[in-house]
Structure 1
Amino acid sequence: MTTPKLLNRLTFRQLQVFRTVYERQSFSRAAEALGLTQPAVSAQIRQLEQALGHPLFKYAGRTLHALPAADALAASARAIFGQVSRLQMSLSDLDGTITGELNLAAVSTAQYVVPHLLARFRAHYPNVQLRLRVCNRSQALERLAERRDDLVIMARVPQDDDLVFMPILDNEMIPVVWPGHPLLEATSPTLADFAHHYVLMREPGSGVRGALEELAAEEGVALDHAIEMGTNEAVKQGVMAQLGVAVLPRLAVRLELEAGLLAPLELPGFPLRHSWCTVYHRERFPTPVTELFLRFVRQHLDELHAHFAADPAPLPSHGVACLPDATP
């Protein structure tokens, strides 16, 4: 097929649908993400295949596989959409505004940090539309593999040359108990002593649970008395209710520690430390807004570190009211 014919038959909508199917490796997940029916997605892909003169996907059982033509088109589509995004940014600069979207996913422990970044970023770039999805580690890894988000914010980034990451802040995990717990009066308590109590933990796949289980395995300590709870807040409330003890990110309990509602417990091997990082897959070409956000985070890391290293206190005002622009 000659280039003019191809240019006349391709549409941005087809490329958008293709990119979503390619990234999510599923027609149904792509349909959900785009707000379309699965037959509509299938029709767009068929039209695109007819325009290209090559098949793009095939099923092996229930698994969707990208064919060589799809890999070639994906590389071109990333470049095309990247250029369109840069054009949008250039036009926004001419207007004196920066517009676009920033889609983030963050593991649940990072929810204590990410809103502070987003508030500062929005103060500088109020016309950028922000979306944040909070999930556990297993879900974050799944979203990262499927390239669903512009950035994923997580700790313990997998060793993978295809992942690009930037550390932003230490995630320090500490044992916590309720005030008056007998372990606070014990002489040199150990992880084994800690594990004799009911240990409140998140579901399998949680980053904090994984870090605790790794340390317990290294020290040969069995976590036989575990009570599983679905959120960090439930774990925190469970400790305050004297249901059990737990290991939690220090930032998740800093207010309760300050108020005397929880008490930190000194144990060998703690605190556990892993850095929260911004992560994206090399094949998900960063948009200009993503690049802008990453640059903004780098520029404000010192401010972020200083705030969370100090005693709990409000951040200095960024001078922007948390109200949408009501100008007609």
Structure 2
Amino acid sequence: MPKAANYNLARRISIRQLQVFDTVSRLRSFTRAAEELYLSQPTVSMQIKKLESDIGLPLIEQVAKKLSLTEAGKALQAAAHDILETLGRFEMEVEDQKGLRTGQLHLAVVSTANYFAPRLLGQFRHQYPGIKVTLEVTNREHILERMLRNSDDIYLIGKPPESSELEFQPYLPNPMVVVVPVDHKLAKRKSVSLQEIADEPFIIREQGSGTRIAVEHKFASAGLELNIGMELGNNESIKQGITGGLGIAVLSLHTLTSGDMNELTVLDVEGFPISWQWFIGHPRSKRLSIAAKTFIDFMYEEGPLLLPENVIDSALVDMSMMKIKGVGE
């Protein structure tokens, strides 16, 4: 029987160390790597120092606050990527052999989907209790970054980018509506023109948000300039800002609850709602686990049933206005 090769490093280096190094080298940041791995920054730094000590060569250099890899670091990055990818494929094969009794599912969604995605995951976990699930909620720009880094299994996003490396399929409609305080001067008007609201101060999401992209495109297409009064990083803060009289906003219809409609109302604006849609995506080259494939099927079967049922009362908004046209029309 042939003797096993004597690889000294294999006795000293752990898979966890390789995972930490791979994340740091990919993000070029100890802080961001710590956030992605749910570790403290000192723990990440300690793992890298231990790795450099075990190998006997520096792996990372820091010049003018920028991290770069040494030649040894570049070689280790390639090796770590191959090892972790091979281990990931093995893990999926094991999960497939076990069926859906065990496994992991990592889902990342845009913030507008946060109003139903947790309930969807809850229903899925109830049906498949052996599957461990994680949910990351962020904006469109960060979702795309995570996709390129292959950080998760499945992504839910609006308006997918054109990319040969990413694969998307249409999911549920996500209409965008103009929201104002119930006592706004235009609240009871019908067929308000876009020009009439152009001078209103808008509370808008941060750069990189899909909602912001949709709003800016709507105004630019009409030859109008968007009057940005304030930027806020989440939909709940925007709703509070509208209630407080700081401005009006365009929000996903699915972010509005019946409770919100005590103080807010949807304005009947020509050209609204904006026809928007969610898409399910993943890297084209990614081999989906059986848990991920099953969850995608589950999304199509159960997702429409879990959308907020009492978002807009017909007494508040003419539901004919809420008819959503197909994307691309």
Counterpart amino acid of residue 152 in structure 1 = Y
1:104 maps to which residue?
107
2:122 to 101, 119, 124: 119
Distance in 2, Cα, partners of 1:144 & 1:220: 33
Kindly report which structure 2 residues correspond to 1:111-150, keeping only aligned pairs within 5 A, or say none.
Answer: 111-150=114-153
2:278 maps to which residue?
276
Distance in 1, Cα, partners of 2:207 & 2:84: 37
2:292 maps to which residue?
293
Decide which moves more: 29-38 or 102-111: 29-38
Q: Secondary structure at the match of 1:141?
A: helix
Kindly report which structure 2 residues correspond to 1:1-328, keeping only aligned pairs within 5 A, or say none.
Answer: 4-6=5-7, 9=10, 11-26=14-29, 29-30=32-33, 33=37, 35=39, 36-44=43-51, 47=54, 62-64=66-68, 67=74, 70-71=77-78, 74-88=81-95, 90=97, 92-93=98-99, 98-186=101-189, 188-256=191-259, 259-282=261-284, 285-286=286-287, 288=289, 291-308=290-307, 311=310
Distance in 1, Cα, partners of 2:4 & 2:17: 17
Please give the TM-score of this superposition, normalised by the length of structure 2: 0.74
Question: Shift of residue 254 of structure 1?
Answer: 4.0
Identical aligned pairs, as a percentage? 30
Please give the TM-score of this superposition, normalised by the length of structure 1: 0.74
Unpaired stretches in structure 1, ≥5 consecutive residues? 314-328
Question: Shift of residue 190 of structure 1?
Answer: 1.6
Number of aligned residue pairs: give it: 300
After superposition, the C-alpha distances for 1:270-304 in whole angstroms (9 at most, x for unaligned) are: 21233223333356x4563xx42343232441432
Indicate if the aligned counterparts of 1:176 and 1:247 stay in contact, CA closer than 8 A. yes
After superposition, the C-alpha distances for 1:238-293 in whole angstroms (9 at most, x for unaligned) are: 32344322111001114247x5543222223221233223333356x4563xx423
| Alignment CA distance shift 1:25-1:218 (3 Å) | same
Aligned-residue RMSD, C-alpha: 3.6
Once superposed, which parts of structure 1, at least 4 consecutive aligned residues long, lie more than 6 Å away?
55-61
Distance in 1, Cα, partners of 2:68 & 2:275: 38
| Alignment CA distance shift 1:307-1:125 (3 Å) | closer
Indicate if the aligned counterparts of 1:117 and 1:297 stay in contact, CA closer than 8 A. no
Question: Shift of residue 27 of structure 1?
Answer: 5.2
Indicate if the aligned counterparts of 1:18 and 1:45 stay in contact, CA closer than 8 A. no
Question: Shift of residue 196 of structure 1?
Answer: 1.9
